[in-house]
Chains A and B, each alone.
Chain A
Amino acid sequence: MRTKIILLTIASGCLALLLSGCAHLQPGADPIVVRTEQSLTVAQATFDTFLKLDNADRALVKEKAPAVHAFATWLREPQPISPGSSTIVARWAGMIAEVDLAKLTYKANRSEQTREDLEKELRYLSDTVAGVQDYLAQLKTIKRAVPVAGAP
């Protein structure tokens, strides 16, 4: 359990490194598409880390930080991966799929409307990821405050 928490903490550190490596833009690249790819990668890794940490001891998180667990529960709510699809996934995966779809639609038809749709989806995803990052900080504090069995 303790090893798992340490590994997940290292993973979130790697996420910060990933963010710092996002400044490159190749000549001719469409900035909004590159930004979307970066946001998708960061979002997928952030949701994964957050849900794994909460999942390591859901009962404890629910007791010590109900708001954090409630947010994780909201992210886990099952929904179709895209409207009308029979593939059911957690809400967070559906959100990422929505942004990816908006990106593909924009790439197929680069109009003002598809760009606005993509920006809107990106804003929603970024706001959610920002919320997760706040809760992630709270989660790490809770985990550190819990004494490890057998520790002096």
Chain B
Amino acid sequence: MPIAALLTYLPQLIAAGESLFGFVQKLREAAQQSGEWDPTHEDQFQASLIAQGQAPESLPDKN
């Protein structure tokens, strides 16, 4: 994907990442009390973690 196109859609990509994080947090609410949650939710948690761990605010300083 060309960088210009990526930059055009960056706000939407960031918003998608934020909503995924919110969705996963919602799923986790049950686990806050029982410690148990659907194994498929674990995959969603990992996906949200990777998205956040690679988001602009998590990238090192540009030299």
Number of contacting residues on A, CB 8 A? 39
Interface positions of A from 12 to 26, Cβ below 8 Å from B:
21-22, 24-26
Interface check A129, CB cutoff 8 A: no
Within 8 A of B (CB), among A26-59: 26, 29-30, 33-34, 36-38, 40-41, 44-45, 48, 51-52, 54-55, 58
Residue numbers in A under 8 Å from B45 (CB-CB): 100
CB atoms of B33 and A92 under 8 A apart: no
Docked complex: A82-105 residues within 8 A CB-CB of B = 87-90, 92-94, 96-97, 100, 104
**Which chain A residue lies CB-closest to B48?**
A44
Contacts of B53 in A (CB 8 A): 81, 89-90, 92-94
Could you say which of A38, A51, A97 contacts B32, with CB atoms under 8 Å apart?
A38
**Chain A contact surface mostly:** helix
| Cross-chain contact A34 with B58 (CB below 8 angstroms) | no
Interface size on B, residues (CB 8 A): 24
Known interface pairs A97-B49, A100-B45, A104-B42. Does A37 touch B28 (Cβ–Cβ under 8 Å)? yes
Question: Which of A72-80, A135-143, A144-152 binds B?
Answer: A72-80
Pairwise interchain contact A73-B34, C-beta atoms closer than 8 A: no
B10: Cβ under 8 A from any A Cβ: no
Q: List B36-61 residues whose CB lies under 8 Å from chain A.
A: 36-37, 42, 45-46, 49-50, 52-54, 56-61
Q: Which 9 A-B pairs have the closest CB atoms?
A: A93-B53, A89-B53, A33-B35, A55-B57, A90-B58, A34-B35, A37-B31, A51-B57, A26-B34
